[in-house]
């Protein structure tokens, strides 16, 4: 499965780095539909498996939510490249998630994110993360976007 964005392009957009970068490849982007499909491979070498849970390792739910949030930012960057190229700060807002199945060592998580509403300073997306044809997590994710020159005035003026 060849991606349209490799890890180098992903790192141009996402501020996270190992071990907190949870997107390995972008498989497809449809700017018109506001849809992005990303991939995350989980291996026995992932740091969180040693303690969650020894003998029966499971990907923590918060890691899957973070992967979905990172895929959301990639979707935002595809729709609003003029803002994303300025390297804004992204803030995770509200997340509503339903976990359907565990994800473990050797699983490949396919994350599909579709915009519900994207504006310059925020976004709302629906996301589904699957292992094969099985849904692992469904979520609605809301996030904020602040450009560096606006960050102080926007943060301090919210009273």
pLDDT in tens, 67-87: 999 999 999 999 999 999 999
| 24-32 long-range Cβ contacts below 8 angstroms, 24+ apart | 25/1, 26/74, 27/1, 27/3, 27/110, 28/4, 29/4, 29/5, 29/74, 29/75, 29/78, 31/78, 31/79
Q: Beta strand 25-30 with 89-99: parallel, antiparallel or unpaired?
A: unpaired
87 is catalytic: no
The C-alpha R_g of the chain, in whole angstroms, comes to 16
**What is the spatial distance between Cα 54 and Cα 87, in angstroms, rounded to a whole number?**
38
Quick one: pLDDT at residue 21?
A: 98
Catalytic residue among 52, 100, 114, 140: 52
What's the CATH number of domain 7-156, 3.50.50.60, 3.10.129.10, 2.60.40.1120, 3.60.15.10? Answer: 3.10.129.10
Place of tokens 């490949």: 108
Q: What is the pLDDT of residue 150?
A: 57
pLDDT at residue 45, rounded to an integer: 93
pLDDT of residue 54: 85
- One pLDDT digit (tens) per residue for the chain, 159 residues: 356 899 999 999 999 999 999 999 999 999 999 999 999 999 999 999 999 888 999 999 999 999 999 999 999 999 999 999 999 999 999 999 999 999 999 999 999 999 999 999 999 999 999 999 999 999 999 999 999 875 544 444 343
Is the Cβ–Cβ distance between 86 and 7 less than 8 Å?
A: no
Three-state DSSP at 2 gives: coil
């Amino acid at each position: 499965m060849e991606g349209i964005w490799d890890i180098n392009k992903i790192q141009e957009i996402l501020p996270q780095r190992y071990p907190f970068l949870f997107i390995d490849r972008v498989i497809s982007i449809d700017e018109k539909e506001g849809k992005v499909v990303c991939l995350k491979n989980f291996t026995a070498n992932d740091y969180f498996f040693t303690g969650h849970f020894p003998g029966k390792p499971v990907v923590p739910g918060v890691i899957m939510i973070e992967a979905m949030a990172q895929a959301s930012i990639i979707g935002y960057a595809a729709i609003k490249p003029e803002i994303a190229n300025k390297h804004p700060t992204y803030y995770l807002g509200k997340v509503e998630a339903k976990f359907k199945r565990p994800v473990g060592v050797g699983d490949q998580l396919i994350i599909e994110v579709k915009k519900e509403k994207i504006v310059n300073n925020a976004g709302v997306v629906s996301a589904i993360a699957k292992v094969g044809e099985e849904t692992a997590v469904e979520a609605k994710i809301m996030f904020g976007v602040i450009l560096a020159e606006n960050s102080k005035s926007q943060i301090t003026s919210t009273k």
